Copies of this chain bind each other. A is one copy, B any other.
Amino acid sequence: MEHELDIRKLRVLAAIVETFIQTGEPVGSKLVAELLGGEFSPATVRNDMATLFEMGLLEQPHTSAGRVPSHLGYRTYIDRMMKYKPLTKGERDEIEAMFNLQDPDPDRLLADAAQVLADKTKYATISTTFKPRSNKVKRIELIPAGGHTVVILLITTTGVVKSRVCRVSFQVTPEVIDFFSRFSNGRFAGMEIADITAFYVNSLSMSLGEYTAYFNQLLSAIYDLCREAGEGQYYSGGASNLLTYAEFSQIARELFGLLDRRETVQSLISRDQGGVQITIGRENSQMELLGSSVIISQYKIGESGAGAIGIIGPVRMDYARMVPRLEYFAATLGRLLSETFEET
């Protein structure tokens, strides 16, 4: 009962996958025979298709329709037969050009990257940074912005900058700002972000004695900023592109919800697996993605993986095109970020 995948069967599979990716219609034996250059008759192809079907690589929507690749069929095709379609010079230039127009602020660069990639690919995209293994408070700046308003700026050792406007109950004067600036830098600078717990901040607040009430808003704002800086960044773009694909009209809502949940999306990304990672339909652990494929490419800042950018689309996706393009995109993004971050 064991079947072997000889070359011809793999070619049949490849022909079916590639045709189906393009047309979305079940593929019949006659067409496959033609695609194979007429070397074999449709009947032969039918025999092979029957074998591939028994092996679980093909599915038939109904008895008298052509065959459609199963998710396992895509996987086999990708692992054993797929030829990447290399980028043309024009495409490379196009990707570079997109970035050139973008903002050099790293935070925005990442947000723009998701957007630009979505516009180009017409799929939904995500971009994230990894949660850094070590991330310490470098400095806290307080900038008076009004009689009762202070801007707090948190700078971490990984180069993340977070700010927020904070209203305080006291009159803002250089003296009080100076005092609190010394105080907070004294207590926070050099600390691991992860160690700045609500408990710790609370105990600091207590230690201020009679001034506790004054500085509570500021301390709690610092705490919030640490939470923000501690998590990786996350952006998504082009969700509405998915509406183009009929297969999504039913679960679009769920999928959109998924894209809004950073933790869920970040769990998609295996940090260990460098390079490009393709997850097809059922291979996804998230319910919402059972009918989708996810391609994720890590990017590096300097030598180490710093984050990932990916696209989410229908299982019927042109992997051979998308993979090298995403890879190039991630490499370009990494290069730009490296320029900002190196030796900071």
Interface residues of A (CB under 8 A from B): 103-108, 138-139, 141, 143, 145-149, 151, 153, 155, 159, 161, 163-167, 217, 221, 224, 239-240, 243-244, 249, 252-253, 256-257, 339-340, 343-344
- Asked if A145 and B244 sit within 8 Å, CB to CB, the answer is no
- A165 touching B252 by the CB < 8 A rule? no
- Do B155 and A108 have beta carbons less than 8 Å apart? no
- Using Cβ atoms and an 8 Å threshold, which residues of chain B touch A163? 153, 161, 163
CA distance A285 to B136 in the complex (A): 51
Contact, CB under 8 Å: B340 / A165 = yes
**In the complex, are the beta carbons of B252 and A146 less than 8 A apart?**
no
Contact residues in B for A343 (Cβ distance below 8 Å): 146-148
> Which of A106, A107, A165 counts the most chain B CB atoms within 10 A?
A165
A244 to chain B minimum Cβ distance, whole angstroms, is 7
Residue of B148, B161, B240 touching A257 (CB-CB under 8 A) = B240
B224 x A252 contact (CB < 8 A): no
A340 cross-chain contacts in B, Cβ below 8 A: 149, 165, 167
A224 nearest CB across to chain B (Å)? 7
- Please measure, in the bound complex, the distance between the C-alpha atom of A221 and the C-alpha atom of B108, giving whole angstroms: 13
What's the nearest-Cβ distance from chain B to residue A276, in Å? 28
